Amino acid sequence: MLGPVAAPAFARAPGAPRRPAATRSALARYVEPFVAAEDFSGVIIMERGGEQLAAMAWGSANLDFGVPNTPDTKFCAESISKLFTRAAVLALASAGKLSLSDPLARFIPAFPLAERITIRELIEHKAGISRDLSLGAASIEPHSPAELAEMIAHTINAPPGRETSYSNNGYRLLARVVELAGKAPFDDLVRELVLQPRNMRDTVFGGFNEVMSRRATGYIPGPGWGTLVASPPWNYANSRGAASYFTTPNDLLRFVRTLPLEASDARDLLARNAARPEDRKFGHDGFGNGFADFAYAYPDDDARLVMMGNAQSGLFNRMHADLHRILLGQPVDPPRIDRPRPLPPNARWAQFVGQYALRPGAPLIIRRTGEHLEVSAGEDFHPLIATGPDRFFMRLRYATLSFPPAPETVNVLHWAEGGGTFDLKKLA
């Protein structure tokens, strides 16, 4: 087992203020309107210069039993789990069990193009591997890393190259590589190589309805404003390597204190001409199965920010820049939460129903169910709220969908999310 992992030395920003009381007050003013709207439930921790400025919790870990969230509640880390996988790969590389330049063929020779794919390319999402698996009803049946690798081999994968294409499946393959290189089960190796050296005693594999103390239930927005429903069941065994760990905000902070994981990360950050200060960071975010999280270290500010939530909402993208400002003691605009009365269905809705070009093999689909339109972008269907004759809001992603106004033909969907706008052509 590796020894304790030392925290990287950050250069503390000169004159950085220490103001925990003011930070907590500003954080409460910002977050509580979102809590009242049932769009946020979770924990936020802020640290700067080695001093904790805030560790605050809102909402319930379980709505049925009224169990409050705390910094020691276990949330699903979702894609933040990829950092644990990457750390395990790097530990094995340090021990001489693999090299980042190794071809995937060294471990999974039967995988298509395995001789051309390197471990480094898998880590950096440059291996051309498909984004995800469509498991359908099989999502609650456990699959081993070996079985998942076989399933990924039969998806539509592109040749590896320099282009980055985010891939959960690439990290599922890395889980199998970790097993084969370390000659032990993936979860055992992550515990030994990653969690124990960082004293992360509250970080555990999720499995399927695993019995664990202080576990949060994940919730997704229901129809209309201010409603939450439990997320559909998912077997986290099927996300090994990509999104399979539950952890507490306190434990996750211990991991964030050891970022960056590689010296090359710091070099890349120095070379990056980030337009926004909050983009100069190390870490990851996570989104799915009723959870929305992020965990970042900001070397320019000697600061760290962890947010873990169990009300899945694209709001977390909007919150990141504002929370970074609060962490630095900078002013932020108060949240404006517009909740107009939803419009009833009308005959034009039939023209909005259909498929729209999103990405190969996974079109965006809009359908009508009862009094609502619902949308799927390659996952489960989620309700839309009609805020205008041709305009809808998706609480799950904090996205706005708009269509050409009448009497124009509906041949495109305008999708706005996280400051970006995308035009999706109607297919059928």
Q: Dump the DSSP string for 52-75.
A: EEEEEEESEEETTTTEEP-TT-BE
Which residue(s) pair with 382 in the sheet? Answer: 375
Report d(CA 401, CA 194) in Å as an integer: 41
Q: What is the pLDDT of residue 1?
A: 44
Residue 344 lies in a domain: no
Q: How many domains does the chain have?
A: 2
Residue 152 lies in a domain: yes
Helix (H) or strand (E) holding 296: strand 291-298
CA distances from 384 to 28, 132, 355 (A): 29, 24, 15
Residue 59 lies in a domain: yes
Q: Is cis: bond before 407, omega within 30 of 0? A: yes
Q: Looking at the structure, tell me whether residues 270 and 399 fall in a common domain.
A: no
Report d(CA 380, CA 375) in Å as an integer: 8
Residue found by looking up tokens 């990509």 in the block: 242
Residue 182 lies in a domain: yes
Q: Which residues contact 285 (CB under 8 A, 6 or more apart)?
A: 79, 80, 292, 293, 294, 295, 316, 317, 320
Q: Looking at the structure, tell me whether residues 89 and 188 fall in a common domain.
A: yes
Q: Looking at the structure, tell me whether residues 239 and 354 fall in a common domain.
A: no
Of the three residues 286, 316, 339, the one that is the final residue of a domain is 339
Q: Which residues contact 331 (CB under 8 A, 6 or more apart)?
A: 325
Q: Looking at the structure, tell me whether residues 261 and 388 fall in a common domain.
A: no
Q: How many C-beta atoms surround the C-beta of residue 61 within 10 A?
A: 22
Q: Which residues contact 123 (CB under 8 A, 6 or more apart)?
A: 86, 89, 100, 174
Q: Which residues contact 121 (CB under 8 A, 6 or more apart)?
A: 127, 160
Written as tens digits, the pLDDT of the chain (428 aa) is: 455 677 776 665 554 555 899 999 999 999 999 999 999 999 999 999 999 999 999 999 999 999 999 999 999 999 999 999 999 999 999 999 999 999 999 999 999 999 999 999 999 999 999 999 887 766 788 999 999 999 999 998 989 987 889 999 999 999 999 999 999 999 999 999 999 999 999 999 998 777 789 999 999 999 999 999 999 988 999 999 999 999 999 999 999 999 999 988 888 887 776 678 888 999 999 999 999 999 999 999 999 999 999 999 888 888 999 999 999 999 999 888 889 999 999 999 999 999 999 876 678 999 999 989 999 987 789 999 999 999 999 999 999 999 999 999 999 999 998 778 989 999 97
Q: Looking at the structure, tell me whether residues 317 and 391 fall in a common domain.
A: no
Q: Looking at the structure, tell me whether residues 241 and 331 fall in a common domain.
A: yes
The answer to whether the predicted template modeling score (pTM) of the entire model surpasses 0.85 is yes
Provide Rg for the chain, Cα atoms: 22
Q: What is the pLDDT of residue 353?
A: 97
Q: Looking at the structure, tell me whether residues 368 and 231 fall in a common domain.
A: no
Report d(CA 237, CA 428) in Å as an integer: 35
Residue type, 183: K
Write out the two tokens for 363. 């079109």
Q: How many C-beta atoms surround the C-beta of residue 271 within 10 A?
A: 7
CATH code for position 125: 3.40.710.10
Do residues 384 and 367 make contact, with C-beta atoms less than 8 angstroms apart?
no
E strand spans, 162-266: 204-205, 219-221, 228-230, 245-247
Do residues 172 and 241 make contact, with C-beta atoms less than 8 angstroms apart?
yes
Domain extent for 363: 349-425
Q: Looking at the structure, tell me whether residues 320 and 356 fall in a common domain.
A: no
SS (H, E, C) 347-359: CCHHHHCEEEEEE
Q: Looking at the structure, tell me whether residues 333 and 353 fall in a common domain.
A: no
Q: Looking at the structure, tell me whether residues 10 and 125 fall in a common domain.
A: yes
Q: What is the pLDDT of residue 3?
A: 58
Report d(CA 149, CA 172) in Å as an integer: 7
Write out the two tokens for 69. 């969230």
Do residues 361 and 247 make contact, with C-beta atoms less than 8 angstroms apart?
no
Of the three residues 291, 306, 339, the one that is the final residue of a domain is 339
Q: Looking at the structure, tell me whether residues 301 and 363 fall in a common domain.
A: no
Write out the two tokens for 4. 């304790």
Q: Looking at the structure, tell me whether residues 238 and 371 fall in a common domain.
A: no
